Chains A and B, each alone.
Chain A
């Protein structure tokens, strides 16, 4: 039997093992589709406005309205925000309560005068609970911009105090004050340009979305390796334990299992990846850069599956171990990978985790591509593959009757 026949035979066994392999391949589809539907507005780059906002300004001075316009003007032009001016506060709140708009921004009377005269002025951001998820993203950006403007007024005021000390006339001071506030407003017009972008909100920088889709990718591909765990355990406890097989032939079976497992995982990627690409319109060069990550992830997870299958005598125990290992890895990557204050051992384990490397390689390669992180993650996946393969074969050999 040549090596190719070994692989072909094992693929037939894996795919012919009931419906498990096909379930493993197709199970990611409902999850990715549900996720895609759920995140629909975030995934659509162009189209209807993402935020519908009712606004009421009861302040006669138009400076605050001007500031609000500056902050959201670019987003209105690009269609991210649709503005609906209202005449009464009750109308704005009712529009939100009735689900006609997502947000109502209320600017109370004397907002500008109060803030300029050293009295804190507070605007209101009234939002629908059903829009909590997206409205709060806008709110956080808006609040930080408005707060910085409010703090900026304090800084201008400190400058005015120096001017007063220098004996300037009231008209001159008023002039400096107005110029100072105009400077501040001008700064806000160009906010995004500071980092070489337009607008003030980073609608494209949906880092949380990138992380979620990468976690889903890695999770589904990990789940696809379950038939490999089960079949390996079954082989070792039944077929191989009853028959003496020479090491060379055993090695052939082992390699064939890893390759066929990797092919099964790659198949699930082939189903998931076009869906993800269609949902998020990932650029083709980014899409292609994911391919080495997909191949290495498939081999690393397949080797891990064979190792887990070799470790346990009962197929069910091996699957439970796989389930718990996977859950722990997913939880760690989802909730711990961004924490800098972890114990050193845990922090090290996180860095070398193949699951983390897989998640990172997808989120990185699909969206922004930092070459250094990409190379490191490929290296981690390759090392994981090598270690799992060697350890797996030692146990595999030990468990089979030689």
Chain B
């Protein structure tokens, strides 16, 4: 049995299949982008319409304070214009300042001074409402202090004007009270770096192996398996040689991602990725056998890789309440790769999981092959 001929044929097929090759190229580009720029991006340029219907002057002051908020672009419009822009997806939210905004503040009333309409168009809107409340509070605080000054005997408008001048920039400087966040320890590992670039590449690489595995779809049905066994070849070696080009392409794509991630232990992560990608190839074999044909594979691959990667914590951190997941995800290759990234023990577990998936893959492909033969 000439396994190298199989390897050569598969390599040629893989390198000329630009459709699937594009997946890994895009994966490398996206992962490098994540490694380089994740965490540096804020809510840039989210458009918010401000409808100032206030009959007094404080609404204008609120608009001014709002305009200094970073990450948002504020436009003062009429209600009709604002709603038109919101409807047409040109804006993501509307802040309506009530007509009696100034009046209520001067009477120390606080009920419904501002109305906020937010469209769920962005992940960055989490604390948008808090920001609007804070800015309304700022206007209110100024007014309260002005009122106190006005109550002092002998105070004139000039004194209030002086106060306004002194406090003009008070809201744009650091406050005298602050709170800082400190991330706690977890098993003596400081996870200040998330390494999302590496983790997401692992997800993409598994998807690539699945989606480029049309040869495995036909693996059990086209007679390739039968021919190999007929020539006394070994199924495991056939699979190893056929899947090798995909593994090598994934590994080559991983190198720039790893280098740009600035991981402190690149060699360790690379070794763990080698084991991970081999396990992923076995996983892909199972997915492809179950799919049977490309039209099924194209549906199952994204779902299966997404679920498995989410399960193992590669796509995002597993929350604390998901302890059961954390325990059960030991059967998933991504779990051990995740451990390796964060400097935890991984080697024995990863090897066992690789062996387990490989055996399962062989068994399932054999079952499907038998089923096809009987049909």
Contacts and interface: CB of A to CB of B under 8 A. Distances in A.
Interface of A: 18-20, 23-24, 27-28, 30-31, 34, 37-38, 40-41, 64, 93, 96-97, 99, 102, 104-105, 111, 114-116, 118-137, 139-156, 158-159, 161-163, 165-168, 176, 179-180, 183-184, 187-188, 190-196, 200-202, 205-208, 210-212, 214, 223, 226-227, 230, 315-317, 319-320, 322-324, 327, 337-341, 350-351, 356, 360, 363-364, 367-368, 370, 372-373, 375-376
User: At the interface, is chain A mostly helix, strand, loop or mixed?
Assistant: helix
B145 A340 contact: no
B310 A38 contact: yes
Contacts of A152: 137-138, 141, 175
Contacts of A351: 88-90
Contacts of A161: 166
Contacts, number: 349
A145 to B, nearest CB: 7
A142 B87 CA distance: 32
Contacts of B298: 226, 319, 322-323
B69 to A, nearest CB: 10
Contact of B179 (A146, A188, A193, A324): A146
A370 B163 contact: no
B171 A356 contact: no
**Interface core residue of B114, B171, B211 (most chain A CB under 10 Å):** B171
B331 interface: no
Given A122-B180, A202-B130, A194 B136 contact: yes
A38 B178 contact: no
A236 B116 CA distance: 52
B299 A223 contact: yes
Nearest to B291: A23
22 contacts: A34-B310, A41-B321, A93-B184, A97-B185, A99-B320, A120-B175, A120-B178, A126-B181, A128-B320, A129-B183, A129-B184, A132-B317, A141-B130, A144-B131, A161-B166, A188-B137, A196-B115, A207-B118, A207-B122, A316-B19, A339-B45, A351-B90
A397 to B, nearest CB: 24
B120 A367 contact: yes
B309 to A, nearest CB: 10
A202 B131 CA distance: 11
B133 A195 contact: yes
Contacts of B145: 155-156, 158-159, 180, 183
